[in-house]
Amino acid sequence: MQQGWTFPWLCALLLGLMMGLLVSGSEFKHHRYEDMVRALFAVQSECPYITRIYSIGRSVEGRHLYVLEFSDNPGIHEALEPEFKYVGNMHGNEVLGRELLIKFSQFLCEEYRAGNQRITRLIYDTRIHILPSMNPDGYEVAARQGPEFNGYLVGRGNAREIDLNRNFPDLNALMYYYEKTNGRNHHLPLPDNWEQQVEPETLAVIKWMQNYNFVLSANLHGGAVVANYPFDKSRDPRIRGRTTYAATADDKIFRKLARTYSYAHSWMHKGWNCGDFFDEGITNGASWYSLSKGMQDFNYLYTNCFEITLELSCDKFPPASALPREWLGNREALVSYLEQVHHGIKGMVYDENNNPISKAEISVAGINHDVTSGVDGDYFRLLLPGTYTVTASAPGYLPSTSTVTVGPAEAIQVGLCVKALGERRPPPRQISHPSAPITTKM
């Protein structure tokens, strides 16, 4: 052996070569539709007992919108196990999210097989749904141009050139009206004939939301580097030339969710990116610019799901050579944000006979936004640490209220028992006492 090639030095060299292979450009590439499908099915083949692939629908041009699910019981909702989703490539020419989610799927499988306790626990305690491409048709248009010639708008919309993030039913206007009239604050009704008013990709995602009780979500975009949180639409559209902050009732938790991703990201939290500055790397959507019919607002107003929008790269279609750096910059953030689904409170809503109650409304005093229990009677409410008064109510039942203190760790479990209206309770029993009568309640 050449002099100076000591054993520790050789080990360090080999370790460095192995690490280099793990993040080398050869492992990273842009995936056309067929490549993406093969990559997802390869993950499913490598980890068959913790994954499932299903389609939520088809694009305008007939491409499946495939979702890869991770769970210890794929295909089954387990009571008290929250549902989480990542959505990428909503704008076809914003491709980094698509590649990150493909890589994230491979990462979850590989780390599970390697015995990584953090990842194993996430998969066992969470039902994770990953939709790498919501707009496969738009991606193909953008990919035909390639990274070198991709424009700002080519491939952004679907095959009909419709911007999918301006295509959801507009529930903000109804919400802002209800705020003034003490109206409903959650699960707002959809307009008549809404299915004829949206694109096939949007319809598929809305049906997806109806079929799964998602708790937390993120929507991956490009063109800036910032974590954007609701509301996206300004309360006062008459204002011209300036932006206004549009806070939700859960503004504090949304800010915390955005900061979780930003600070776990390698450079988002620094603020200065792409020629713009965002304090802590986060922004309220409407404070940045007002957007109507967006997906993150729709999640909050129509479902139990809290969603933020992640702008992840200055370059909408970065070259393949940039993907390793982007993956290392986002890897921890993708995991840390997913872990946030396990904070706040969760529990079962049931009656006096221990029957689960679905669609019960869970309200938190001081926060004007309710969530509902799922078909199994379980509910999930994201909350910051603090003490809260929580009430469950359902038609035909007396409300049930509890006071709970939420800590910084995992969700506190709080069962809420509602009693049927009209139930006859036994009268108080009289107990004789030598000195004075005492009345006790059963």
Q: Give catalytic residues, as residue numbers.
A: 311
Q: Is the dihedral of CA 61, 62, 67, 68 positive or negative?
A: negative
CB 138 within 8 A of CB 156: yes
Say how many CA atoms lie within 13 Å of 266 toward its Cβ. Answer: 10
- Residue partners of 1: CB distance under 8 A and separation at least 6: none
Peptide bond into 231 cis (omega under 30): yes
Residue 163's CB is within 10 A of a number of other CB atoms, namely 18
User: At residue 300, what is the residue type?
Assistant: Y
Backbone φ, ψ for residue 124 (5° rounding) = -75, -30
Q: Distance between CA 362 and CA 364 in Å, rounded?
A: 7
Q: Distance between CA 335 and CA 117 in Å, rounded?
A: 13
**Distances 218 to 94, 274, 311, 340 between C-alpha atoms, Å:** 15, 21, 10, 11
Burial class (CB in 10 A: 0-12, 13-18, 19+), 54: middle
Q: Distance between CA 243 and CA 241 in Å, rounded?
A: 7
Nearest alpha carbon to residue 226 among 271, 187, 266 = 271
CA-derived radius of gyration, the chain: 25
